[in-house]
Amino acid sequence: MTKRVERQFYTQPTLTVAKDLLGKYLVRRIGKKRLIGKIVETEAYIGPEDKASHAFLPRRDFRFQSNKDIKRIFGNKLLQDKNFLRNLLRGGGKITERNKAEYLEGGHIYIYLVYGMYWQFNISTSKKGRPECALIRALEPIIKIKNQISNIKNTNQNSKTLKLANGPGKLCRWMNLDKSFYGEDLVKSKRIWLTKGGKIKPSRIVAAKRIGIDYAGPKWAAKKWRFYIKDNFFVSRKHNNLTNMRNGGIIKCTLKNKEVNDA
């Protein structure tokens, strides 16, 4: 039985995690029901030097907040954590009530709202006290083989399946993710976790520019920190995938129980 992804995976360097998340399964438990999506697209954000990060702050502008403020934002437990404080002092970064989950040890959920309506699901990465994360941009919904067989009879149904989770806001809506998941630990949670999938070969991983971050300036907008599985139909930005699907291409996805069961 394949176990859920453990802590040491998430505490690796952020770019490593962002690429290695591809092919893993995000499992969401809602009562007796489970929604499962294979991660097919991610983006890395490495603050505080990354101008696209919510934690961006020039080192010269960093001022360590008082213990009272740190305690108010992070709680007394982290205030007493020497590793957390050491990493925070070394790296700096902008700290707010909104982005504090970025500073948690790798494997915690950082979810926030954009445009007042779309939730964005991120996973903290690297060590505690370092504001880094990976945005999950798209999932490939895993459908039981019986349902898949019935779906492929209808092209319109295929198009609907393609659009279920092919964007950060869409996947949150499909998996019913909201603010209540803020700061949740994917290693320990009973309602959401990751399990290992098939290893994606480096030749099948595409590195591209991140989407919608022109405000960060040409240097950071040009960083190829968006990663997706080559030729996957479910990535948020694709070329002729949808056309190919409508012309008769069929995606067959099967998932053994051992790949999604919680250990």
Q: Which amino acid is at 92?
A: G
- Homologous superfamily of the 7-259 domain (CATH): Methylpurine-DNA glycosylase (MPG) (3.10.300.10)
Map residue 27 onto helix, strand or coil.
strand
Q: What is the pLDDT of residues 194-209, one digit of tens each?
A: 999 889 999 999 999 9
- Computed over every residue of the chain, the mean pLDDT equals 84
Which pLDDT score is estimated for 154? Answer: 39
Q: Which amino acid is at 95?
A: I
Q: How far does the chain reach from its first CA to its final CA, in angstroms?
A: 7
> Are 22 and 205 spatial neighbours (Cβ–Cβ below 8 Å)?
yes
Per cent of the chain over pLDDT 70 is 80
Q: What is the pLDDT of residues 29-58, one digit of tens each?
A: 999 999 999 999 999 999 899 999 999 987
Distance CA 104, CA 82 (A): 13
Res. 259: pLDDT tops 60: no
Give the β-pairing of 226-229 and 33-46.
Answer: antiparallel
**Distance of CA 60 to CAs 2, 19, 49, Å?**
46, 31, 11
Which pLDDT score is estimated for 38? Answer: 96
Which pLDDT score is estimated for 240? Answer: 40
Quick one: pLDDT band at residue 59, thresholds 50, 70, 90?
A: low
Which candidate, 136, 130, 141, places its Cα nearest to that of 99? Answer: 130
This prediction has a pTM of: 0.85
Q: What is the pLDDT of residues 132-159, one digit of tens each?
A: 999 999 999 986 544 432 233 334 446 7
Which pLDDT score is estimated for 144? Answer: 52
Which among 69-73, 82-86, 87-91, 136-140 has the top mean pLDDT?
A: 136-140
The region, left, alpha or beta by phi > 0 then psi within -120 to 50, assigned to residue 203 is: alpha
Q: Name residue, tokens 């991140």.
A: 210
**Distance of CA 136 to CAs 71, 178, 189, 212, 235, Å?**
29, 14, 18, 14, 11
Which pLDDT score is estimated for 192? Answer: 98
106 token code pair: 């790798």
Res. 241: pLDDT tops 70: no
Q: What is the pLDDT of residues 103-127, one digit of tens each?
A: 999 999 999 999 889 999 999 999 9
Instruction: Return the DSSP state at 209.
Output: P
Taking residues 159-181, what's their average pLDDT? 93
What are the b/e assignments for 203-232, b being 16+ CB within 10 Å?
A: eebbeeebbebeebeeebbebebbbbbeeb
Which candidate, 194, 211, 199, 234, places its Cα nearest to that of 10? Answer: 194
Which pLDDT score is estimated for 69? Answer: 75
Which pLDDT score is estimated for 118? Answer: 94
Which candidate, 22, 65, 211, 47, places its Cα nearest to that of 125? Answer: 47
99 token code pair: 């982005």
Res. 3: pLDDT tops 50: yes
